[in-house]
């Protein structure tokens, strides 16, 4: 994957630091089933599951606990496929609907399959979230496989309604939704996806509707739509084909999105489809061999926008279909070249040695693990860096923030090489100024300032994607993105 994988020990430390006493409940040693382990647990506990297939539909029941395979303690990825929760077509495999938090409720190192969803009337009378149903709550999935689940409504793999969901280092594939979104469907809330693969799901890989904030980085999306007809009011299965003004990679309806270092390919409608007040920032991505690479719609008198930089888009600007009334900004660094995948026909989207996407990403982005300038796409090409051919560009100005995503505050750090006049400004994704954080003379070296997610008047702002710009002596030197999640 594009980014270095997060060591789960860090998550363990964070969880344990939040609770004074935590115990490990072994399944089936201490409790015969995973649900029995959850029932016996209290906040901060770990339900550690031995390899095997558990035919269950589990519910976290409001508990901020960890349910995990032995991967959690060993980092041995073979345990992910060996430890299976089978929903037996008896509802969602995982349910979190009693106020669980994304910081406290963790599912780690398991495979979820054969779920059929939870009945809800929130968007029609359907079953939602075959693999997982998250409502009015939050969860984190790490190193999880979600496959062969189904839903008659939305979210064959996962459906989130008014919640927060973080996915990292996971695979979501071969899931089906009869109505919409075989992968992840989110309505109201926040979705963060890192270093994951979402492929071969029926209909959209990811769909975000109604005030959703999405941040996705280092991911592969390659999905196919079949057996679906959608016309905004009625649904039907017809002639094994798709008729839909929506994207099969990512579909956005009233969502703010940051999409970075993703490979979005082989989708039989749009790679990315955005409409209804959706605002997207795209950087270091590859859009290739989709029916339409990017579609920006104008719908019900509402416009959408996209800012595109350092992306490889098949067809260049001709690969962007933008309806009158909506708009996009085509910034520097974009290319229109064959990315030269190793073997796309067999699903290998790593870059070949002479790919034009190597070292073609935003030079102010974090360096690849091999120490070179960021590549485009989800899979970086590891280079030998001894020769001058791969000389690293010297970055004069460092700019970053932590934590990211954040709530309620984040520390923004910057460094300058000489005594200079520095201006640091926060904008929303539409380019509207939110707050000037710094406007002063600074000595050379490193500096930091805390932003509390507020505007010039000191009022708290809403969840969303924001950009902060560093200007030194009147010249823009770096722009970075951050995500406020509430």
- Give the whole-angstrom CA distance, residue 68 versus residue 132: 15
> Does the predicted model carry a pTM greater than 0.85?
no
Q: Where are the beta strands (DSSP E) in 314-432?
A: 320-322, 327-330, 341-343, 348-351, 399-402, 410-416, 420-428
Two tokens at 362? Answer: 């935003």
Hey, what are 68's tokens? 């995990």
Sign of the C-alpha dihedral computed for residues 222, 228, 230 and 235 taken in this order: negative
CA 159/CA 353 separation, integer angstroms: 39
Residues constituting the chain? 486
CATH assignment of 399-484?
2.60.40.4070
Tokens representing 184 are 């992840």
Among 367, 345, 399, 212, smallest CA distance to 284 is for 367
Q: Where are the beta strands (DSSP E) in 150-246?
A: 150-151, 158-168, 171-173, 176-177, 184-194, 197-202, 206-217, 220-224, 228-230, 235-236, 242-243
Beta carbons within 8 Å of 474's beta carbon, 6+ residues apart = 421
**pLDDT in single tens digits along all 486 residues of the chain:** 544 333 333 344 344 344 447 899 999 999 999 999 999 999 999 999 999 999 999 999 999 999 999 999 999 999 999 999 999 999 999 999 999 999 999 999 999 999 999 999 988 889 999 999 999 999 999 999 999 999 999 999 999 999 999 999 999 999 998 887 889 999 999 999 999 999 888 878 888 898 888 888 888 888 754 332 222 222 221 122 222 333 468 988 888 888 999 999 988 888 999 989 888 899 999 999 998 999 999 988 999 999 999 999 999 999 999 999 999 999 989 999 999 999 988 888 999 999 999 999 988 788 888 889 999 999 999 997 554 444 444 456 788 888 877 888 999 999 998 999 999 999 887 678 999 999 999 999 999 999 999 999 999 998 777 888 899 998 888 888 887 876
Kindly state the helix (H) or strand (E) to which residue 368 belongs, with its residue range: none
């Amino acid at each position: 994957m594009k980014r270095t994988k997060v060591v789960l020990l860090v998550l363990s430390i964070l969880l344990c630091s939040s609770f004074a006493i935590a115990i490990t409940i072994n399944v089936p040693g201490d409790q015969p089933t995973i649900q029995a382990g959850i029932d016996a647990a209290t906040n901060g506990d770990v339900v550690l599951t031995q390899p095997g297939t558990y035919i269950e539909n589990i519910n976290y029941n409001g508990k901020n606990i960890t349910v995990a395979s032995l991967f959690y303690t060993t980092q041995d990825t073979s345990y992910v496929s060996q430890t299976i929760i089978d929903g037996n077509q008896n509802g969602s495999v995982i349910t979190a609907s009693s106020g669980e938090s994304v910081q406290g409720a963790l599912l780690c190192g398991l495979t979820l399959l054969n779920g059929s969803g939870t009945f809800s009337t929130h968007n029609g009378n359907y079953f939602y979230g075959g693999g997982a149903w998250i409502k009015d709550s939050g969860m984190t999935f790490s190193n999880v496989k979600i496959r062969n689940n189904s839903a008659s409504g939305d979210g064959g793999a996962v459906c989130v309604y008014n919640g927060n969901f973080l996915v990292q280092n996971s695979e979501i594939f071969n899931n089906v939704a009869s109505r919409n979104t075989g992968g992840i469907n989110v309505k109201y809330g926040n979705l963060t996806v890192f270093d994951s693969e979402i492929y071969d799901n029926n209909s959209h890989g990811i769909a975000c509707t109604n005030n959703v904030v999405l941040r996705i980085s280092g991911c592969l999306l390659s999905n196919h739509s079949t057996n679906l007809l959608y016309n905004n009011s009625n649904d039907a299965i017809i002639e094994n084909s798709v008729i839909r003004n929506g994207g099969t990679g990512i579909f956005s309806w009233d969502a703010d999105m940051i999409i970075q270092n993703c490979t979005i390919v082989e989708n039989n409608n749009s790679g990315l489809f955005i409409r209804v007040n959706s605002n997207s920032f795209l950087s270091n991505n590859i859009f290739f061999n989709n029916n339409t690479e990017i579609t920006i719609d104008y719908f019900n008198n509402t416009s959408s926008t996209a800012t595109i930089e350092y992306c490889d888009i098949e067809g260049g600007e001709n690969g962007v279909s933008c309806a009158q009334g909506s708009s996009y900004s085509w910034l520097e660094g974009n290319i229109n070249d064959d990315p030269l995948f190793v073997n796309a026909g067999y699903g290998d989207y790593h870059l070949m040695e002479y790919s034009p996407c190597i070292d073609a990403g935003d030079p102010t982005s974090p360096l690849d693990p091999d120490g070179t300038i960021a590549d485009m796409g989800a899979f970086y090409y590891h280079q030998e860096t001894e020769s001058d051919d791969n000389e690293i560009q010297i970055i004069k100005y460092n700019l970053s923030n932590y934590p990211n995503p954040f709530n309620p505050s984040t520390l923004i750090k910057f460094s300058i090489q000489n005594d200079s006049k520095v201006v640091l400004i926060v904008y929303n994704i539409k380019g509207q100024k939110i707050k000037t954080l710094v406007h002063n003379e600074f000595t050379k070296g490193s500096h930091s300032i805390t932003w509390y997610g507020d505007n010039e008047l000191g009022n708290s702002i809403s969840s969303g994607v924001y950009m902060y710009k560093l200007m030194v002596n009147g010249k823009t030197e770096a722009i970075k993105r951050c995500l406020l999640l509430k």
